[in-house]
Structure 1
């Protein structure tokens, strides 16, 4: 053990000596030294079959290279190295062990290396006093506010700049965000797995994601709106055909090649973040029903409700969200919850009732469209176009999951055909109810369209 520590200190001193280029003035020399530092870390940690884990100082140095974003080459190299190190030396993981078949309990154990380096500085809110904020340097790790501002900047990049004017710093922020989401995922998934086996809420309470979202220093709704904005813009723009203008001319060709993949990866990272939050909300709801949560966990509106509110009042966002959001499990769940807002509720449910509206199934929704009368009562509350959009995407997600829940896929196919047939009948009936009358008034022809409660008139000379 002592020899291992001495070896780690020796590697740290050698590699950080390469990184320390304070006496070098030329930027190209600085970049060369940092690339040599990254290669030295890779050679000692990744290349050998049994590599040596980098120290916290070494990992922090790699992270700062990614944050600084001085060149595209350094950004890509530091990002790729951090991803590989996360996979090779996880700070949170599950360890399987054998237990007697007669025994009850978990078959896996959660291993958390508390002293391991993390890119996040999350903890007590008291640590973020005005004095501490004033003394912070750019070399520090990211706190909850830093993460929120990073996502906000990426959303503004999508909306305002239209991804047509990019510099290496902006692209570096995209990769930084992808790496941070990767860290959140690596920390959360093992914890959620062990929670599902033990129902011990502490495992998730101490997750990075829970601490990040529980911070009072971020606007939770604004963070989610930034995520939805990125997804919406991703749907509307064909970046492969966009003309790219870059600030850093020396990296122009490389930026153009990397842009499409970076944009796609960023959108996937945003979706991954949303899925992680919804999984956390699902587990927290179970823990709340079991009385395992406390005031220290805070009160936060479930992400599902925030998403539904945004999608309900923005039909364009609904269409683009369903087109881009690719997780079939949660896409189907969002569609079911959207329909539940417009379907008749059978009874009043209590806050902690086990029989929640989450029990709705896609087959149950299709039954509501089984005849023209019931389908018409639904489309009175939502347009036929929205109903068709939700049904089509719900069917796609359902088939992707291949979970019929006792209902044959053939039956689901028949039900979806019947639902669209009934919606078409309703649409034809509405068209037939539209009547046209002509009136001659002051030498002008007025054409009236009567459709339900609405009447529109068009004047022709």
Structure 2
């Protein structure tokens, strides 16, 4: 048996050497033959690791070679092929995953274990010390990204997100966008199983050791600057590629028209890649907000240490950016579609400008509204308070926040509602709450119309009001 295993190891090693020889032969060359060799290399890796029935996990060197093609290649075919291959490899050979464990039959219990393959290849390097002997010296880590490299990539994409720059995109820009998408996929694949396990065990160490947390706590990056760039990329690319606003991308300068600076293949690809890059940024922001929530919980339980560092919660950075840059409010609310997190942003935005409710005491006869979306809606119940709010926020901004908050509220599963503790598992209470919020929504817009007589009702506002009226008529 040992001889068999040894033979398999030798055969696998010989096969990998042959595959690597293909890419080594084209090293430092930029010709059609070199291009063909690299395509052959990627196909060989896919054949042995993905397609083959007896597929084998590729070595560190092979993964690094594929990743290097994604990072430095100028050919659109090679960039896309290497990107797709890296994602396929990550799905087939995950670095972090959950594994079910069956306990003794007598207990009839099923437990979950977090499996972390420490020796697996990763595109990130957060230390110059590399433990694995297969990886060799630190100089062999060429092509991997540390925190500063990730920051530089984000800054580059923020420049690409400019409308004029995007119109003259090239394969380098597409390669950078696909590189970012792949890195977010890696961060997500590492974070999601850890978060799932954390929710079961409340073991903060699981998330502390996540790639996402290690990336963000690095002193090599300015977290606020990084997040502001991310918001710029997400909103601007969404505007360019989706075109949800009336004045986005002038038809005469549309990126769909062929230009001398951008060949047809790159131009056709750029819109899809740009849209997916905006979505990838959204995924990254979602994960960071979830990490912040978990960290706050761990901190309240005394599980964090000084080594975890202190940084501004992402929600606060988002609120500041939305406050001082109204141009991104609408695209942000449009593209940031996680209802639970969006509702949190809308609530905090409102309560940043609405006077906080009085604190209820033992002698209080009534119950004060808490700082939730329902509480914010009730602040629009009379004209006086509504005028006070729109002086600080603006009528159009108030409409957008009300509409998206209303939609998010209806979309969040009832078990996740932070403001309905008494309605968990109670369908009647949940239904009553929805009816109340619909009534408050209609009342809020009546107050808005009275407070701002010349206000133009946005199309999304009309749709939300129609939805609220429909819900009320069905439940009447």
TM over 0.5: yes
* CA deviations over 1:255-307 (Å, ceiling 9, x no partner): 12211110001000111111111111110101111111111111111111111
Query: 1:229 & 1:65 partners in 2: Cα distance?
Result: 28
Q: Of residues 56, 76, 79 in structure 2, which corresponds to 1:52? A: 56
- Within 5 Å, which residues of 2 pair with 1:233-272? 233-237=236-240, 238=243, 241-242=254-255, 243-245=257-259, 247=261, 252-272=263-283
1:411 aligns with 2:436: yes
The runs of 4+ residues in structure 1 deviating greater than 6 Å are: 100-106, 135-138
Taking a change above 3 Å as real, the CA distance of residues 208 and 106 of structure 1, as seen in their structure-2 partners, is farther
Q: Of residues 436, 449, 464 in structure 2, which corresponds to 1:424? A: 449
Rg larger in 1 or in 2? 1
Contact kept, 8 Å, 2:449 with 2:455, in 1: the verdict is no
Q: Of residues 109, 121, 141 in structure 1, which corresponds to 2:125? A: 121
1:109 aligns with 2:113: yes
1:151 aligns with 2:154: yes
1:364 aligns with 2:375: yes
Query: 1:10 & 1:78 partners in 2: Cα distance?
Result: 23
TM-score under structure 1 length normalisation: 0.82
Contact kept, 8 Å, 1:167 with 1:246, in 2: the verdict is no
Query: 1:197 & 1:219 partners in 2: Cα distance?
Result: 32
Task: State the partner residue of 2:44.
Answer: 40
Residue 83 of structure 1, CA deviation: 0.5
Residue 398 of structure 1, CA deviation: 1.9
Q: Tell me the matched-pair count.
A: 411
Task: State the partner residue of 1:130.
Answer: none
Task: State the partner residue of 1:216.
Answer: 219
Task: State the partner residue of 1:199.
Answer: 202
Contact kept, 8 Å, 1:166 with 1:246, in 2: the verdict is no
Taking a change above 3 Å as real, the CA distance of residues 271 and 423 of structure 1, as seen in their structure-2 partners, is same
The runs of 5 or more residues in structure 2 that have no matched partner are: 131-137, 244-248, 361-369, 424-429, 457-476
Q: Of residues 393, 396, 399 in structure 2, which corresponds to 1:388? A: 399
Task: State the partner residue of 2:306.
Answer: 295
Query: 1:184 & 1:104 partners in 2: Cα distance?
Result: 34
Q: Of residues 3, 6, 10 in structure 2, which corresponds to 1:6? A: 10
Taking a change above 3 Å as real, the CA distance of residues 244 and 196 of structure 1, as seen in their structure-2 partners, is farther
SS of 1:340's equivalent? helix
SS of 1:107's equivalent? strand
1:28 aligns with 2:32: yes
The runs of 5 or more residues in structure 1 that have no matched partner are: 128-134, 350-358, 432-461
Residue 236 of structure 1, CA deviation: 3.6
* CA deviations over 1:402-437 (Å, ceiling 9, x no partner): 537434233322221111111111113999xxxxxx
Taking a change above 3 Å as real, the CA distance of residues 244 and 299 of structure 1, as seen in their structure-2 partners, is farther
Taking a change above 3 Å as real, the CA distance of residues 26 and 412 of structure 1, as seen in their structure-2 partners, is closer
